[in-house]
């Protein structure tokens, strides 16, 4: 991303030198892959007419992006030893219908045409946590889910 930052700085300098009117604001943010805390802070403080976001794109100029929403779902139940199944409820088994619905939703999203250059949206369970040991019914099960979302709709081919 050092090359991207250098490109942004050069573009800012060129835009200012052209005297196109208005301010050129250069930001370099952190945490863009998870909670986007840097982006949220910049948007709260600064208003702009346009933005340029640099990401590796095979040297093509892009005006489209796939983003994401990360979330967790948790089932809770009653733990018990495996030899006493009547005393427990398996949280992992309770998660089964949720995962089945998630898979059905993914198939439905991916069957849609989506955006021409980005394809369809998607959703999947990326990680799953549950259980303490082989001999117990788990009291919790938590999958981490990624929902791929789409922004804008066009990619401009060319080299930078």
- CA 143 vs CA 30, 77, 137, 147: distances in Å: 26, 15, 17, 13
CATH of the domain at 125: 3.30.70.360
In a domain, 158, yes or no: no
Q: What is the mean pLDDT of residues 101-125?
A: 90
pLDDT in the model for residue 3: 77
- Residue 130: Cβ within 10 Å count: 18
Do 102 and 36 lie in one domain? The reply is: no
Does one domain contain both 8 and 50?
Answer: yes
- What is the per-residue pLDDT for 102? 95
The answer as to whether 28 is a domain residue is yes
CB 28 within 8 A of CB 6: no
% of the chain exceeding 70 in pLDDT: 79
Interval 13-35 mean pLDDT = 73
Q: What is the pTM of this model?
A: 0.62
Q: Return all residues near 24 (Cβ < 8 A) that are at least 6 apart.
A: 12, 15, 16
Domain count, the chain: 2
Residues 110 and 128 in one domain: yes
The answer to whether residues 93 and 147 belong to one domain is yes
The CA distance from 91 to 74, in Å, is 9
């Amino acid at each position: 991303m050092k090359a991207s930052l250098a490109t942004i700085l050069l573009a800012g300098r060129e835009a200012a030198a052209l005297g196109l009117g208005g301010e050129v604001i250069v930001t370099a943010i952190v945490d863009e892959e998870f909670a986007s805390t840097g982006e949220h802070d910049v948007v709260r403080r600064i208003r702009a007419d346009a933005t340029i976001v640099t990401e590796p794109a095979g040297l093509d100029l892009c005006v489209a992006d796939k983003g994401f929403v990360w979330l967790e779902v948790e089932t809770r139940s009653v733990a018990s030893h495996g030899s006493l199944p009547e005393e427990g409820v398996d949280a992992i088994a309770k998660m089964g219908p949720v995962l089945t619905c998630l898979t059905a939703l993914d198939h439905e999203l991916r069957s849609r045409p989506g955006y021409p250059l980005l394809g369809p949206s998607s959703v999947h369970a990326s990680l799953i946590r549950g259980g303490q040991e082989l001999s117990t019914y788990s009291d919790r099960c938590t999958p981490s889910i990624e929902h791929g979302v789409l922004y804008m709709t066009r990619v401009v081919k060319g080299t930078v």
